[in-house]
Amino acid sequence: MVEFIPLLAQTNATSAGHTAGKIIVIAGAAAGALKCYAISRRPTTNAKCVLSLMFLLLAWSFCRLLASLRDTLPVSPPWQFGTGLLAFSLVITAMVLGILGLVEFAQKRDVYIQGRAQAIWSLIFCAFFLSAFALGLLKGTGGWMLSRNQPLAEQPLSPVLQPVAHAPDGPHEPTHPRP
């Protein structure tokens, strides 16, 4: 914490604006999560639907907080992996709660009047979050996901792997060359 105080003393207007924006986003998502919790306690609200959005907002504020910490303080890779896994599990929980809540909402339409929109928006944002996660995973593991025997895109294929196209001699002849 002591190392963080000199960092705040050496700010300019641009970095102060970025920091204020980060704090507003984190606080807004956390406030939305608290509001979702308050809404979920109402008797005519499907709690699963609203808690789905709450978990998603918590994951969003958690990821933003993690990114802010990573920008300012040295964070170890195992800690980053663990917190990223926690955020991913919050998003999966939000998706499962959203689907279960919508099924329950459809079965008891006369009981519930609130929560459907929250679950739908939660599922839409979960799809965006998981897409971004998958793209980041693919980008982050770039050459790691390729097989050791697979050539890179700019390397030519070996002669054994080169495609061979010959016209067949007859209607039932194989297309590979004859020795």
The helix or strand, by DSSP H or E, that contains position 18, with its residue range, turns out to be helix 13-40
Q: Where do the domains of the chain lie?
A: 20-139
Residue 93: the pLDDT is 94
In the chain, the amino acid numbered 76 is: S
Res 134: pLDDT = 83
Position 57 scores a pLDDT of 92
Contact 17, 23 (CB under 8 A): no
- DSSP string across 47-97: HHHHHHHHHHHHHHHHHHHHHHHHHHS---HHHHHHHHHHHHHHHHHHHHH
Q: What integer pLDDT is reported at residue 66 of this predicted model?
A: 82
The token duo for 130 is: 């998981």
Give pTM, 2 decimals: 0.67
In the prediction, which pLDDT does 109 show?
A: 87
End-to-end CA distance of the chain: 75
pLDDT value at residue 166: 57
Task: Please tell me the predicted confidence (pLDDT) of residue 121.
Answer: 93
Task: Provide the sign of the torsion angle of the four alpha carbons 49, 51, 53, 55, taken in this order.
Answer: negative
pLDDT along the chain (179 residues), means of 10: 54 79 88 92 91 92 82 79 86 94 91 90 92 80 56 58 56 58
Residue 50 contacts residue 118 (beta carbons within 8 Å): yes
pLDDT of residue 12: 78
